[in-house]
Structures are given as structure tokens and as C-alpha cells.
Structure 1
Amino acid sequence: MTGSDRRIRVLALGGTIAMATTGARGGVVPVLDADALVAAVPGLPTLGHIEAESFARVPGAHLGLADLVRLSRRIADAIKDGVDGVVVTQGTDTIEESAMALDLLLDVDHPVVVTGAMRDPAQPGADGPANLRNAVLIAASDKARGLGVLVTMNDEIHAARFVRKAHTSRPSAFTSASAGVVGWTAEERVRIPLRPTRRVHVDLSDAREPAAVAAVTATLGDDGRLVRLLPDLGYEGVVVSGFGVGHVPARMVDDLTAVAREVPVVLASRAGAGETFSGTYGFPGSERDLLANGVIPAGALTPPQARVLLSLALSAGWPAARIAEAYDVLSG
């Protein structure tokens, strides 16, 4: 079967790629549906049998984990229906989190590719059509099978577990700083020389709504007064964005330790690349100190991605040991 023979489902969620100016409030808002997005890409039908479906029409900032759970089920249904690959278009604000969620929720080998746009369709150099074309090309390729969810922007291909948005507005905003891109597209070719190995699947087929997980960023001189309130506010887990390889001010340690006795606390790095350490530094508030007090290391996952995993894992009833193992697996 060639790429042009394959059924590719395009599921549109909104975002900048689907935005246009309306007369109501000024500024661009998501108004284009999946059919309009597909129609705007020259020659797209030559890459496969394209099926356009509008799943939502919202900014990326309005998506929630419950939306991604529903979307994962829709993707699974499409694959059962016989599609060969799936493309998701959405707002770039939350691509690193939604791609991570789909990667965890989907237990399929079929290509699932997430993309969007940094420039809306009315701007000079709008990148949406090229990104969508590349996403379809990848979704129709055998090279993308078995890799979990992929993200493509700016001709690059990223694994969901490594991708992050590193600039507010440039078409090159997406990077995989810790591991590098896994591939790229050129002309009509898909190149994927790097292939992530182990994957993690979270089964939420019978689970409740995603668990509430708080995100806290350590800052200079932070005394932790917010942390101690989180369990009483109904949060079932906490992700802390620490300094460097996983450090916090000494004044936060007692509160983090107390909270870790009540709910899982995960330690990530706010640095933007690299992983949290587990055994190098020994001062109060260091990674050794925090891990000895029950905190779970996030490894190479970014804080937003670490939060997605913790929420879904708690929703599935995973114990702390299994959650810690998942972070280690996804770090490579």
C-alpha cells in the first residue's frame, strides 16, 4: 500500500491554524473547521484518502485533560474503523501536553501526528498548510508506525515525550532539547533515523475524570507557604518545578515532605532541558534530600508533561512505585 492509497483522518481541534478575524471583539479566533483546513492545503489528496472531522473549535489554552481522554477514544475508534493514520490539528499553546497525554492514552502502532501553526492563515508566511501537509505525509508513512504520538512543526518530527514549545511566536518554536528531533520531512520523504524504544500506556477505559494535580514552580527565596495548602484544596498530586537538576529553597523542604506523606509529589526541572538528578547533591533542598523524603523524580520530562503523566496515572489508580517507574521509562 502506498501513501496515496491510505486513509488518513484529520481531527481538528481549533487553535491558531484554524483562526480568522471576526467582527465581534477583534483579533483572531478559531473559526475554520476541518474541511476548510484540508481544502487550504494544495495537493493534499495526492498523499492519501483524507477524511476531515471537526472534533472541537477552541484555542489550545482552553483544552483540558478530559478533552484529551475523549479525543484518544475517538482516535482509537477511527483506527478500529480502518484508518491508516491520524492527524490532530490544535493550538500550539498546549501541544507538548496534549501530545504527551495522547501518547500515554493510546495503545496503538498506527501513526498519530499532532501539528498546528504559529502564524494564523491571514499572516504572511502562514505555516499551517505546510505543517498539515507534513503531518499527513508522516501519518501515511510506515516509518512512523510503532513510535507513539509524534509532533511535526517546521519540517521537524518530535517524539511526544521530548517536545516542548520554546518560543512564543517563531515558526521554529518547537524543540526537543533533551534528546533532539527524531526525524524530519524533505520533499515527499519522511526521515526518522532515531526511534524511541520503550513506551508507557495508561488505561483509562473505566476510570473517572483526570485527577487534579497542582503545578508549583520554585523561585528565589520561596518559603513553601502555597505548597502546604494544596491537599486541603483538593489536589491529589503535586508537580514541583525545581531549580537546575532538582533543587528547592531549604525553607520549602518541610512542607514538601509533609505533603508527600499525603499525596504523590513529583520533582521536575524548570531548566527546559536535561533531567533531574538523584544522587549528586546532598544539601537541604537538594535532589538527594527530596527523594529521601518521598518525592518522585520526573527524569527528563518537562514539568507540564510530568503533570499530565501524574494526573492520568492517579486516575488509573497507579501506586507511587509504578508512577516512578513510568517517569524512568519515558526518560529513555
Structure 2
Amino acid sequence: MSVESTARRRILVLTLGGTIAMTPASVGEAGVTPQLTGADLVAAVPGLDRQAELEVEDVRQVPGASLTLADVAAVAERLAEADAAGVEGIVVTQGTDTLEETAFLLDLLYRGSTPVVLTGAMRPPQMPGADGPANLLAAVRTASCPAVRDLGVLVVFADEIHAARHVRKVHSTSTGAFVSPGTGPIGHVVEGTVRLHATPVCTVGIAARPSRQAQLRVEVLHAVLGSDGLLLDGLEDRLDGLVIAAFGAGHVPGSWVERLEQLAARIPVVLASRTGSGSVLSSTYSFPGSESDLLGRGLISGGSLDPFKARLLLWAHLAAGSDQAAIAAAFTGQH
């Protein structure tokens, strides 16, 4: 489906820093750090002001690796305010290190209809072939498109449009680093026109309580060859929730199972696959440490969510005060 972009819609641009905003701190310095403002980013895109009426707000100026869950929750609140104020589209720029996680968490927390599009850059502005300006232009065009209302949070990179639920960064340096394993992009921006190929299933907004957010500790622990599970010891006293990045379809070493069962009796423990694509199974294997064994010991299946997104869904429900049953039900919808 091709959708002609509507000219001069009111678009809010929120900037958080990242490579798209990075330059050397001084002349001759080799490394880059976040320096550019949102006004700088907009000014670097020829003709962007003809695409929309832009309002720019600098929210943070940090690398993507330094963003916090509280930062993202604050952005979600700003999105809700902008939606209520009648903004017609919102673009968020940030570092690519955590962009897929920010997008998914915003998708969980944001309950408005106004399009929200995240983008960034793999190459800083001074590098030949810098991709930031083109990504920002494509993001503004996507956010300006009425057809993307109510589609949840989107990620636009290299003229591809991805649903937050599926998008992942799969390369450390390529300008085509963002893909959606197993599903592909939901659309493209072609000659300035948004072309949608699919409609993502939208999530239901979660009302996370700000008073609980800073206190929560939810981590991911990876299963690796030969691990004896030493890192599992004492976690029930230090964590509020845990995600196990398991082998294959949801397997861990046999030496882990008793400690995981004990943990699952105290805190929510989610079982996800570390593979990055595909779903945790439920009843194919039955050896100690298999998916059926672990689910029978009280672990919660993460379905097709990767461990990083499973962690965010668990964190959001804990922040909302959800009980074990509600958390398990939320993950049931991710299969």
C-alpha cells in the first residue's frame, strides 16, 4: 500500500544524543561525543523544513549506552503529552546501541495514536556517507503519514520501516544494521512516499508507576557452554525479576534447574531464547533443563521475545505492580 505523504504536518522531534549527534569535542580530536542539538540535526537535512512544521526539543545529549529506563519512561510521558496536545507525528533520535530497546519499551508504555518513529545513525556527521540526515528525513516522512497512526512505535533506518516489537540491531557498524528477523520490515520510504506492506499487532499500554521504577532490578543471564550456574546464587535477594537467555528453544545446563526452580518461587523468572529469532517451545523436549522441565518448575515462557525485550516487558509489568499471574498472561500474548 502506497501512502502519499501529507505536507507540512506538525511534527515534534525529540533528541536524546547518540551517533547522529556526535562530533569531535575539539579540532583534531579523533573520537566523537554527543555535541549537536536538535536544531543542528534539522539544519543538516536540506528541505526538511518543507516536509513538516518542526518543533525540536533536546531531551538528553548522551550516548545510547548511557540512557536509563527512567529516561525512556520520561520520554513516554512526553509522548503522551504531545499526543494530547494534537501533535501529528513524533520523531525520536538516539544512539543505536539501545535503540531497539528504547523503541520496544516506548511501545509498551505509550498509549497514544500519534505516530512515533525512532531513528539514529551508524556513522557520525563528519564521516563520509553519514546516514543521519537521510534517516531523519525518512523518519519525518513516516511520522507525517496518517496511515501509520495507531501502528505503535516504529523504527526507520535506511528507508526501511520496522515495528518496535520485531526490530533488532544485528551489525556493529553497517548502515543496514537494523532488521526484523522472521518478519522483515512493515514498509519502506520510496521517493518520499511511505509504502506499507504489513500492519503490526499493537501492544496494550502499561501504566508503569514512577515511584517503583528506580527501585526495580531486572537482569538478563545468558546460558553458556559449560556454565555451572554460579551467578544464580543469591539473586533472589538482589533482583526483582530475571530473564534467562537460554540455548536454542529454551534449554539450560542441567546443573541450573534446581536453583532456577528456587528462584522462580521467589521472583518472576522468564525463559527466552538467546538465538535472536524463533520461539521458546513448550513440550518438545523433556530432559532436565529443557523447556518443558523449566516451565514445569515455574519459569515463564518468553515466547518469541528476545531476552532484551523480554526483560523490558517484565520490568514494565513489575513497575505497574502486576502480580505473577498478570505477568504470565502478558507473556502468553508474545507467543
- Fold match by TM threshold 0.5: yes
CA contact (8 A) 1:200 1:330 kept: no
1:207 Cα deviation from its structure 2 partner: 4.5
2:118/2:156 contact within 8 Å kept = yes
Residue 287 (structure 1) aligns with: 291
Deviations, residues 192-216 of structure 1 (Å, cap 9, x unaligned): 1211224232102564225210110
Give, in angstroms, the shift of residue 320 of structure 1: 2.1
- CA distance in structure 2 between the aligned counterparts of 1:146 and 1:81, rounded to whole angstroms: 16
- After TM superposition, the score normalised by the length of structure 2 is 0.95
Conserved? CA contact 1:183–1:191, under 8 Å: yes
Are 1:12 and 2:2 counterparts? no
Equivalent residue of 1:3, what SS? coil
CA distance in 2, matches of 1:38, 1:198: 30
Kept in 2: contact 1:16–1:30 (CA 8 A): yes
- Give me the whole-angstrom Cα distance separating, in 1, the residues matched to 2:24 and 2:298: 50
Three-state SS of the structure 1 residue aligned to 2:98 is helix
Instruction: State the partner residue of 1:220.
Output: 225
TM-score with structure 1 length normalisation? 0.96
Question: AA paired with 1:142?
Answer: P
Which residue identity is paired with 1:221? G
Q: Does the 8 A contact of 1:259 with 1:265 survive in 2?
A: yes
Letter in 2 for 1:303: P
Within a 5 Å distance, the mapping from 1:313-328 to structure 2 comes to 313-328=317-332
Contact 2:154 2:164 in 1 (8 A): yes
Partner of 2:260: 256
Residue of 82, 85, 89 corresponding to 2:89: 85
Distance of 1:207 and 1:245 partners within structure 2 = 36
Whether the aligned pair in 2 keeps the contact of 1:214 and 1:230 (CA below 8 Å) is no
For 2:270, give the aligned amino acid: V
1:305 aligns with 2:305: no
1:159-194 CA-partner distances (Å, limit 9, x unpaired): 111111100000011111032211111011101121
Q: CA deviation at 1:324?
A: 2.3
Q: 1:18 to 1:199 in 2, by over 3 A?
A: same
Which whole-Å CA distance do the structure 2 matches of 1:174 and 1:131 have between them? 12
Deviation at 1:2, TM superposition (A): 6.5
1:77 corresponds to which letter in structure 2? Answer: E
Aligned equivalents of 1:198, 1:56: Cα separation in 2:
27
* 1:31 is aligned to 2:35: yes
Q: Deviations over 1:25-84 (max 9, x none)?
A: 740000001100011111111211011110110000000111011111111112222210
Q: What residue is the counterpart of 2:243 in the other structure?
A: 239
* Distance (whole Å) between structure 1 residues aligned to residue 90 and residue 46 of structure 2: 19
User: Counterpart of 1:118?
Assistant: 122
Q: Which amino acid aligns with 2:109?
A: L
After superposition, the Cα gap between the structure-2 partners of 1:229 and 1:258, relative to the gap in structure 1 and judged at 3 Å, is same
Corresponding residue for 2:187?
Answer: 183
Q: Does 1:61 align with 2:41?
A: no
**Separation in 2, partners of 1:63, 1:45:** 29
Indicate the larger mover: 286-295 or 24-33: 24-33
- 2:328 and 2:198 map into 1 onto residues whose CA distance is 25
Q: Give the number of equivalent residue pairs.
A: 330
Query: How far apart, CA to CA, are the structure 1 residues paired with 2:111 and 2:78?
Result: 13
Describe the SS at the equivalent of 1:226: helix
Q: Which residue of 1 is the match for residue 235 of structure 2? A: 230
Structure 1 unpaired stretches of 5+: none
Counterpart Cα distance in 1 of 2:190 and 2:330: 34
SS of corresponding position for 1:70? helix
For residues 41-190 of structure 1, what are the structure 2 equivalents within 5 Å? 41-190=45-194
Give the RMSD, CA atoms, in angstroms: 1.5
For residues 134 and 109 of structure 1, the distance between their equivalents in structure 2, rounded to whole angstroms, comes to 20
**Tell me, what secondary structure is at the counterpart of 1:267?**
strand
Identity over the aligned pairs, expressed in percent?
Answer: 48
| 1:225 shift after superposition | 1.3
1:22 and 2:15 matched = no
Amino acid at match of 2:13: V
Structure 2 stretches of 5 or more lacking a match?
Answer: none
Q: Kindly indicate whether the alpha-carbon contact (under 8 Å) linking 1:212 and 1:237 is maintained by their aligned counterparts in 2.
A: yes
The Cα of 1:327 is off from its aligned counterpart by 2.3
